[in-house]
Amino acid sequence: MEDIVRLDGRPATIKDVAAHAGVSVATVSAVINSNKYVSPDLAHRVHESIAALGYERNSLAQGLKKHTSQTIGLIISDITNPYFTSVARGVEDVANARGYSLILGNTDEDLKKEMSYFRLLESKRADGLIVAVTLGNHGYLRSWPANRLPVVSIDRLPSELCVDAVLIDNVAGAYQAVEHLITLGHERIGIVTGLPGITTTEERLAGYQQALEAHGIPLDPALIAEGNSRIDGGERAALQLLTQKAAQPTALFVTSGLMVIGALQAIDWVGLRCPQDIALVGFDDFEWAAVMHPRLTTVRQPTYEIGQKAAQLLFERLEKRDTAPQIVRLQPQLIIRESSGAALQSSTTPEEMPIDVEYQEFLITDDMSLA
């Protein structure tokens, strides 16, 4: 073996490794790819040379040979939303375990940005894509070459694409939240909805309506206020409900985690106390929900599992492209804490009250094939 490594600053090649180890290029290739028997002594020499030269495989060249880039894309609609942080971690962990890298794109609910990310990932020869589609007309997706760039949808279901999807049973989650407030004696329950026109918003509103109907409570349009799934929208919508001329709500159901922050700001701004004057249940359970004052009653989504399952479906699609698309719906959990007033309705003190009371265990309800 050569004792001195001189490459004049250029990256080491497989030929350099072979020369340094005193073996053939074929032997180095066999060691790297583990596809042929190489004696332990030769394999050790090759690994020593790789370390000495700092040799790194050219993943692009390897990808061109194998027609794969070993990368997948994740396009999310709002990078400020902690929901997507946990989802992205689930996707990344599955991808990394398979030797894949992750390219992340944030659209800020901008359809043009979404389209540009789709085209960018295709040009980068990404092997597949996981996306939370933005609000708007996705007509361009009807002609999208899903066979060339497989797509898995998360959080929202685009009607323009017949693709695999991982969603939450939003109707069930909203129903549980509203029924919880009803069992505490509330009948005037306001709802702060998210972005209009997306399946997540529509399904959570449907769950709210179904719970009221099941308990014989008339639907009052004055108790429905639209937010924009962000903090400012939650504050604006909550203020609308809490200051209206009609009878004010005694409880609020806020359908996204970021809007809950805005709703709490609105409650404080009008001089009310939560839950003594106004009960509150949110959707999304983040780490800060259990340490806020009051501790928040929320509908918990299995966000990490959403990312995991989406990545698993994508890799299954890459292996079997001709199978029927699947819709997987995961079950949420209602986590009862102080903001809904449950502790106040109990003979126990808040300190004695369990932090998390789960209404329903997490499970996968269905793997349905799309028609």
Please state the length of the chain: 371
Name residue 332's amino acid. Answer: P
Strands 326-330, 333-335: parallel, antiparallel or unpaired by DSSP? unpaired
CA dist 122 and 134 (Å) reads: 18
Q: How does pLDDT run across 235-282, given as a tens digit for each residue? A: 999 999 999 988 899 999 999 999 999 999 999 999 999 999 999 999
Q: What is the pLDDT of residues 27-54, one digit of tens each?
A: 887 777 666 777 888 888 888 888 888 7
Confidence bin at 7 (pLDDT 50/70/90): low
Q: Which two tokens stand for residue 268?
A: 């404080």
β pairing state of 164-168 and 326-330 = parallel
Query: What would the pLDDT profile of 93-124 be if each residue is shown by its tens digit?
Result: 999 988 899 999 999 989 889 989 988 888 88
Q: Which residues pair with 335 in a beta bridge?
A: 298, 358
Quote the pTM value: 0.75
In whole angstroms, give the CA distance from residue 343 to residue 222: 28
The reported pLDDT for the residue numbered 371 is 32
DSSP 120-177: HHHHTT-SEEEE-PPSS--GGGGG--TTTS-EEEESS--TT---EEEEE-HHHHHHHH
Q: Which among 80, 130, 82, 88 is positioned nearest to 108, based on CA atoms?
A: 80
Q: Torsion-angle region of residue 341: left (phi > 0), alpha (psi -120 to 50) or beta?
A: left
The per-residue pLDDT for 186 is: 96
Tokens standing for residue 356: 């998390």
Residue given tokens 């890799």 in the structure block: 315
Contact status, residue 275 vs residue 341, Cβ threshold 8 Å: yes
pLDDT score, position 343: 62
